[in-house]
Chain A
Amino acid sequence: MAAVVRIPTVLRPATGGATLVSVEGSTIGDVLESLTTTYPAIRGQLLNEDGTLHRFLNVYVNDDDVRYLGGVDAPVADDDEITLLPAVAGGAH
């Protein structure tokens, strides 16, 4: 199954400037593994070494945050749009 992944501006240098990438996979984990196989430079910004989602990355399937859909196990259907956005966060120290 193929879904479309929307790449944020800050990650586009790692995808050769691509904004929308068609990726095979039936779960978010599959999709991100496939994406990082095509674009190895992006891996460190998406996944931890153990394959879990990076703490400071937001991943959405259509309108939904995958943290509430099972994380890397979240199902992906044909024509779903997956959006990656780095978390915007900080602290006073």
Chain B
Amino acid sequence: MLQLTADLRDAMVATCVRALPEEGCGLLLGSSDGVVMEVVASVNVAHSARVYEIDPRVLLHTFRRADDEGVMVMGVFHSHTHSEPRPSPTDVAQAPDPSWHYVLVGLREETTQVRSFRIENGVVSEESVEIR
């Protein structure tokens, strides 16, 4: 299960809306049991509506800060602007860490969707998202 506040959910959605027409993305800091403590927005350095890549500088600074502060980089979020908000074959092939939570922000429909998935050995499973 992914647990986060409405403010953190809204921060992810706002990052993705601001990135339109490109995909938006960022990292999640928190605990290994799925509690999100901070959303770190990134520029999508792929600058594309079909692919995303977290800015390597954001990646380095976020991992360093996590080490310093004793928290974990525990996931990543990105938007799908024109397709269903679930991991694509590309997302699955490039998933960097089986312990992470992979959040998809769906912007295709009128109502924004926020869904979370685990990706382990190429197998995708959806988990519930609890707004605290």
- Residues on A lying within 8 angstroms of B by beta carbon are 8-10, 56, 58, 60, 63, 65, 83, 85-93
Sorting the interface of chain B by its residue count into under 10, 10 to 19, 20 to 34 or 35 or more gives: 20 to 34
A60 with B88: CB separation less than 8 A: no
- Return chain A residues, CB-CB under 8 Å to B59: 58, 85, 87-88
B binding-site residues for A, Cβ under 8 Å: 23, 25, 27, 46, 48-54, 56-57, 59-60, 63, 76, 78, 80-83, 87-91, 94-99
| A82 CB to nearest chain B CB (Å) | 11
For A56, the chain B residues whose CB sits under 8 A away are 94, 96
Contact between chains at A87 and B53 (CB < 8 Å) = yes
Contact present for B91 and A65 (CB under 8 Å): no
Given contacts A65-B60, A87-B54, A92-B83, list 4 more A-B pairs with CB under 8 A: A10-B97, A90-B91, A91-B94, A92-B90
Q: Given A10-B96, A65-B56: A90 and B63 within 8 A (CB)?
A: no
